[in-house]
Structure 1
């Protein structure tokens, strides 16, 4: 997948980029602010994005998420504060809580890859907090 990383902590962004590239994905860009993220999303049209909630310009990751959702780009929040996520998850598939382990990230990424490609019956890994709509979609698919 072509992936956008929206993260204001350079070390975390580089670590995530390395892990995603090792898994065979292409990083189309990294953004540290909401304006940068929206511009990159508009220009590169990634297939997926990882979005931190608190960016250089404040807690603007939710606005970035809504922008991505408006473009039809699936994404997950990567955050140290799950309480900041709105009830509707702003269109996100879910969230990965910081600090995360590489193993947890790999399990979440595997689920995300399969979910985005249409396989909605896989169990949700513990490292991914699913949005309510995803939890319901996956549960329905598992039962059906």
Structure 2
């Protein structure tokens, strides 16, 4: 997978969220921020298939999908496929999260906070220390 190197280029982002309205809201917020959402997935299998096909530079992953806490395992799997993850969830994990994702954005979050969190991820992926970490995002 290609890594983001220039802040003026849009990121290719995969959203893994089982609440359809929230997934669409996230997609719109990211598009408004100039990013390209390459797909929406609501199951781990769908997320991995989309990642292999669309080659995202970042995945935003909910921890609990359809009542099951599968997000950490999914983030680890996506990482093996070359896709770094940022959790976007109401259930930020302490155990195992550090090995699976860059950090965790706590739900509920505003569109602006989501875009700021993605910019923090871009900085980290580019090997830079983020200039600003929005309230509600914690890094591992």
For Structure 1 versus Structure 2, the TM-score category normalised by the shorter chain is: 0.7 to 0.9
Which protein has greater RCO, CA pairs closer than 8 Å, 6+ apart?
2
Find the aligned partners of 1:94 and 1:57 in 2 and give their Cα distance.
Answer: 22
- Identify if the C-alpha distance between structure 1 residues 85 and 52 changes in structure 2 by more than 3 Å, giving closer, same or farther: farther
Find the aligned partners of 1:121 and 1:4 in 2 and give their Cα distance.
Answer: 21
Alignment counterpart, residue 78 of structure 2, candidates 38, 44, 68? 68
Find the aligned partners of 1:30 and 1:96 in 2 and give their Cα distance.
Answer: 18
Query: Equivalent residue for 1:142?
Result: none
Which residues in structure 2 correspond to 1:67-106 (within 5 Å)? 67-82=77-92, 84-106=93-115
Residues 123 and 130, structure 2, Cα contact 8 Å, conserved in 1 = no
- 1:129 lines up with 2:138 in the alignment: yes
* Greater mean alpha carbon deviation, residues 112-121 or residues 92-101: 112-121
**Whose strand fraction is larger, Structure 1's or Structure 2's?**
2
Larger radius of gyration: 1
**Whose helix fraction is larger, Structure 1's or Structure 2's?**
1
Alignment counterpart, residue 58 of structure 1, candidates 47, 65, 68? 68
- CA RMSD in angstroms comes to 1.7
Residues 6 and 30, structure 1, Cα contact 8 Å, conserved in 2 = yes
Find the aligned partners of 2:110 and 2:59 in 1 and give their Cα distance.
Answer: 18
- 1:31 lines up with 2:41 in the alignment: yes
Gaps of 5+ in 2: 1-10
Query: Equivalent residue for 2:5?
Result: none
Gaps of 5+ in 1: 132-144
